[in-house]
Amino acid sequence: MQARRQTRQIRVGSVPVGGQAPVSVQGMTKSETRNRRQVLAEVRRMVRAGAEIVRIGIPDEESLEAVRWVKSRVAVPIVGDIHFNYRLAQQAIRAGVDGIRINPGNLGGPRRLKAVVETAREFGVSLRIGINSGSLEKDLRRLPVAKALVKSALRAVELLESLDFFNFKLSLKSSNVSEMIEAHRLVSARVDYPLHLGVTEAGPGLTGIVKSVLGIGVLLAEGIGDTIRVSLTGPSDLEVRTAWQILKGLGLRHRGVEIVSCPTCTRDSLKIRSLAEQVERRLAPREKEIKVAVMGCPVNGPGEASRADLGLVGSRGKAIIYFRGRPIGKRDRAEAVNAICELVDKLD
């Protein structure tokens, strides 16, 4: 991994973003905001999955009331997502949200952006300037997308700086991974505001996951990015779990159990896939940071198990159990998962 690029630090409520702060995980609710109980349940699901900042869309005043109600019931910082209506952004800040995401491309011009900035300054609330390839200012739409995103972002930066306002982060989202990567590289070379990474409109299922992991992962590996959101056409807690997998995969953050398991092949005598899934399911609720190897055969099994806290390696229809890198006995397949789960408590 390349060294993390140095950015200024801002705060979204209690969560620092940028500077030396750990890369944080954000999520956004998908429920209709006015259904406040549904939103509250969704926020709680996301927090359990690991969301450290939650964004909620605020399209109207009824939604704003719902956000106020939700905000008073959760500890996680809440960011209001505002489009078109700058007055709503001001109202949301006064209602106590921890951050506001606005898109200069659809706010209605610099004067309105300035009005939001003044309210944000008054209440000490940070902004996200969210540039999006789907909603660029008209005069930029002829440029290559990455350049247009950067130009749009730099315009907003210039305006905010001219107002002596520096309490913001930037995002430059595109549904095209290469454009998104290019835009963040370019903007990162120009300014030192914290960057919020995400691929927008990533698409359904596997496509969405792969595009988000590529865009966010390539940039983080280059040391670019201070906070991330995975957007999927799918459940919001899956977005949060995917974000954590990116940070864990790159070794940037740690959280819970890591399972290392083989892809299975003709040498798998134990049907390892279902064992790995059982181990993952049983250990998922544990807060412990441990690594478990679940391997089908003696080709790579002993090597992986010796580097893990616990291991289960198939060998002629039996499971060899490893504890702290050493084999400690054999079990029948049916007992292997239990054996692993019992050993977890012996690790401290």
Give me the least distance between CB of 65 and its own copies, in Å please: 13
Q: Which residue, 13 or 215, has its beta carbon nearer to its own copies?
A: 215
**Please, what is the minimum distance in Å from the beta carbon of residue 58 to its own copies?**
8
Q: Is 293 helix (H, G, I), strand (E, B) or coil?
A: strand
Question: What is the rounded distance in angstroms from the CA atom of residue 149 to the CA atom of residue 157?
Answer: 12
**Least Å from the CB of residue 164 to its own copies:** 30
Task: Give me the count of residues in the chain.
Answer: 348
213 Cβ contact list (under 8 Å, min separation 6): 230, 242, 245, 246
CA–CA distance, 310 with 293 (Å, rounded to integer): 6
CB closer to its own copies, 12 vs 308: 308
- Residue 7 and residue 193 in contact, taking contact as beta carbons nearer than 8 Å: yes
- What DSSP designation does 76 have? S
CB of 124 to its own copies, least distance (A): 26
Look up residue 285 and give its two tokens.
Answer: 């609720």
Cα–Cα distance between 139 and 144 in angstroms, integer? 12
Smaller CB separation from its own copies, 163 or 186: 186
CA distance 227 to 259: 25
Task: Name the residue nearer to its own copies (CB basis): 187 or 293.
Answer: 293
Taking the complex as a whole, the smallest distance from the CB of residue 10 to its own copies amounts, in Å, to: 23
Burial of 292 by CB count in 10 Å (0-12 exposed, 13-18 middle, 19+ buried)? buried
Residue 169 or 211: the one with the smaller Cβ distance to its own copies is: 211
Residue 166 Cβ vs its own copies, minimum distance, rounded to whole Å: 27
Residue number, 37 or 122, with CB nearest to its own copies: 37
Which residues neighbour 134 within 8 Å (Cβ) at sequence distance 6 or greater? 175, 200, 201
Decide if 279 contacts 258 (C-beta within 8 A). Answer: no
